[in-house]
Amino acid sequence: MKFWEMLSKLDRRIIFALVFLAVLLPLVFKMGLPIKGIQPPVKAIYDHIEKLPEGSTVLISITYSPSTMPELYPMTLAVIRHCFRQNIKVVCVSLGITGVGIGEMALQEAAKEYNKQEGVDYVNLGFQTGPVTLGMGQDIHKTYPTDYKGIKVAELPVMKNVKTYKDIGLIVDYTASGTGYIGTAVTMYNANLAVGVTAVGAADLYPYLQTKQIIGLMGGLRSAAEYELLIEKPDKGCIRMDSQSIAHLLILILIVVGNIAYFVTRRKRT
Amino acid sequence: MATDIYVWIAALLTLSIYSFLYKDNPLYKAAEHLFVGASVGYSIVITYYQAVLPRLINPIFQEGDWVMIFPTLIGFLMVSRFFPKYDWLSRITIAFMLGISTGINLPLIIQASLLKQLQGTMLPMTDINSILIVIGVLCVMIYFFFSSEHKGIVNTTSKIGILFIMVGFGASFGYTVMARISLLIGRLEFLFGDWIHLIKY
């Protein structure tokens, strides 16, 4: 009985330490746990990009800050890599100020691997204020007069035939919570939208998947790992899944043990 | 160990923030204030070069688009909040912004998040998922129906509604755990990989 009482009064800092070890050790000593099965919403995004003809354009929208990069950056990079592999042009925009640098980092990393040229194969339009998702439906060139380096968008070859959502094969919005594209790009302009979201926000977006307002959904690190497997380029998403799995296992054990301790000590009290 | 000064700064700031797990302390407060200050500074610079310059200053002074002066003046009325005698002028800006955003968003939200979702609930009950969706929506809505006392059939239905809500909370909690662990993974990867080179790729 003392054991269960001790457990029910366990100092939270011991739990912090256990979680810390559960995350750190698999990163140091690689385990290579298998990632089995690809979720249909993730596969749907992959299939959509696969079907896009060469030379079409995908709009990557970065609506997250560095704090959620561990989850969202691997999936951003994976989709950009997929586009470049398929010779699809990438236009990157940021709905938040902090997304500008993140988008640039992902574009440059992928461009180097696939030998793509800035301004011709991809562009980072950066950040703009105001109702951007609405404005892009009317005229992207007016909404973003210059790219993030100050070059006039009208002078960029990659933007020559990209004026509105009609010229874009797929919008992929990476966001820490909800997406602003459903109301505007999808509802008003019938654009194809996929969303990459932190695990916290994934549950809220499933209703839009069911109504087919979004064509696909990547929720959290697991989806990023799955996309990396789909494009056969395992990277940070896959590596991090070891820690994720072990930490989840620990939390499951803690929940079960905590509940047993609660019921045993409650019976004693009554 | 890293030799890059920026990695060291980022690592020490991360540790300062994590020191809050033990208890509140001056190092945490200093890192927090530094973060707020740096964020505001970054925002001002990006907004100026990405929005103000190409969409306001250049159109007015290079392209002669003088119409832009009117929205600029409306925006500048917000400065009147610093002068109590004239702070009522800022209400014009607020009213303008409220009117525009409500006008744009209201019909779009109703269409995208209400009508489409209603349509998505009216399903032919041909498979288990459709049946669960229809029953779930009805039961949860009855749980939130307060104009009738929860007795008899209403009580039973609302209790089934609670079950659906709990399943929803459980899914959200599971996802939240996943998200928080991912963030910790990112930071530990930085501290033990980029900083002290214990994690190797």
pTM for the complete prediction? 0.89
Which pLDDT belongs to residue A266? 82
Contact A211 B181 (CB under 8 A): no
CB-based contact (8 Å) between B173 and chain A? no
Cβ of residue A241 closer than 8 Å to a chain B Cβ? no
Of B112, B172, B181, the CB nearest to A244: B181
- pLDDT for residue A221 is more than 90: yes
* pLDDT number for residue A151: 92
Rounded to the nearest angstrom, the minimum Cα separation between B131 and chain A is 14
Q: How confident is the model at residue A267 (pLDDT cuts 50, 70, 90)?
A: confident
Q: Quick one: pLDDT band at residue B63, thresholds 50, 70, 90?
A: confident
Residue of B nearest to A184 (CA): B108
Q: Which of residues 9-28 of A touch B (CB under 8 A)?
A: 13, 16, 19-20, 23-24, 27-28
SS3 A58: strand
Chain A (31-90) residues lying within 8 Å, Cβ to Cβ, of chain B: 67-71
What number of C-beta contacts closer than 8 Å exist between A and B? 138
Interchain contact A202–B (C-beta under 8 A)? yes
pLDDT greater than 70 at residue A170? yes
| Confidence bin at B2 (pLDDT 50/70/90) | confident
Residue A202: its chain B contacts at CB < 8 A? 175
Average pLDDT of the residues in B125-149:
89
Model confidence at A1: pLDDT above 90: no
* Strands lying side by side in the sheet with A193-197: A122-127, A89-94, A57-63, A170-175, A193-197, A216-219
pLDDT at residue A180 tops 80: yes
What residues of A are in contact with residue B181 (Cβ under 8 Å)?
A: 19, 23, 243-244, 247-248, 251
ipTM over 0.90: no
Greater model confidence, A269 or A99: A99
A8: pLDDT strictly greater than 80 = no
Which residues of B fall within a CB distance of 8 Å from A183? 105, 108-109, 111-113
Q: Tell whether the model's pLDDT for residue A222 goes beyond 90.
A: yes
Task: Compute the half-sphere exposure of residue A234: CA atoms within 13 Å on the CB side of its CA.
Answer: 12
Of all residues in chain A, the one with the smallest CA distance to B18 is A16
Task: Specify the pLDDT at position B50.
Answer: 86
In chain A, what residues touch B188 (CB-CB under 8 Å)? Answer: 20, 23-24, 27, 243
Q: Residue window 113-172, chain A: list those with CB within 8 Å of chain B.
A: 126-131, 134, 145-146, 148, 150
Flag whether pLDDT at A88 surpasses 90: yes
Mean pLDDT, chain A, integer: 92
DSSP for A124-164, please give it.
EEEE--SSHHHHHHH-HHHH-SB-TTS-BGGG-GGGTT--S
**Residue contact A207–B171, C-beta within 8 A:** no
Reported confidence tier of residue B124, pLDDT bands at 50, 70, 90: confident
- The alpha carbon of B131 is separated from its chain's Cα centroid by a whole number of angstroms, namely 33
Per-residue model confidence (pLDDT) at position A264: 87
Q: pLDDT at residue B167 above 90? A: yes
Give the closest-approach CA distance of B60 to chain A in angstroms.
Answer: 14
DSSP three-state, residue B82: helix
Assign A70 a pLDDT band (cuts: 50, 70, 90).
very high
On the question of pLDDT at A270 being above 80, the answer is no
Amino acid identity of residue B27, one-letter, is L
In chain B, what percentage of residues exceed pLDDT 70? 100
Q: Residue range A59-76: average pLDDT?
A: 94
Chain-wide mean pLDDT for chain B? 91
Per-residue pLDDT tens over the stretch B72-105: 999 999 999 999 999 999 999 999 999 998 998 8
Q: pLDDT > 90: what percent of chain A?
A: 74
Phi-psi region of A220 (alpha: psi -120 to 50; beta: other; left: phi over 0): left
Q: Given an 8 Å threshold on Cβ–Cβ distance, is B47 in contact with A184?
A: no
Is B72 within 8 Å of chain A by CB? no
With CB atoms and an 8 Å threshold, state whether A182 touches B117. Answer: no
User: Which residue pairs, CB below 8 angstroms and at least 24 apart, start in A107-113?
Assistant: A107/A80, A109/A77, A110/A77, A110/A80, A110/A81, A110/A84, A111/A84, A113/A81, A113/A84
Alpha helices per DSSP H over chain B: 5-18, 26-47, 58-61, 69-76, 90-109, 116-121, 128-143, 152-189
User: A182 CB near a chain B CB, below 8 Å?
Assistant: yes
Over pLDDT 90: what percentage of chain B?
Answer: 64
Q: What is the pLDDT of residue A69?
A: 93
Using CB atoms, pick whichever of A23, A131, A199 lies closest to residue B185.
A23
Does the CB of B6 have a partner CB in chain A at under 8 Å? no
B92 neighbors B74 (Cβ within 8 angstroms): yes
